Amino acid sequence: MYKTIHQYYLYIITNKNNGTLYIGVTNNLERRMFEHKRGVIEGFLKRYGLSRLVYFETFQYINDAIKREKNMKKWKRSWKITLIETDNPDWNDLAKDWLF
């Protein structure tokens, strides 16, 4: 019997360079970004227009992704910005070429 390997994602989205940051976890990053870009999720994300994916990490286990999310939410803003700018110095939308 084969085990299905799942992937889980921790992601950071924003509305602009050095803008408001949101950290989340999902098991389907493409679907989640579709939801953010279409504004189908009411509340904080829609109110601030958070739809630019600027950073993500992949995990095999959901518990690891959630642990990382909770830890990062305690970080200073400057640490989060450094993390983003290490891999994505121009704050490009990493999902801009995905088909939605």
Residue-wise pLDDT for 39-86, tens only, equals 887 888 888 889 999 999 999 999 999 999 999 999 999 999 999 999
Q: Domain spans of the chain? A: 8-87
Per-residue pLDDT, averaged over 1-17, amounts to 85
CATH dotted code for 8-87: 3.40.1440.10
- Which class for 96: exposed (0-12), middle (13-18), buried (19 or more C-beta within 10 A)? exposed
- pTM (two decimals): 0.91
Dihedral sign from CA coordinates of 62, 91, 79, 40: negative
Token pair of 24, please?
Answer: 């989340």
Strand ranges inside the chain, DSSP E:
8-14, 21-26, 52-59
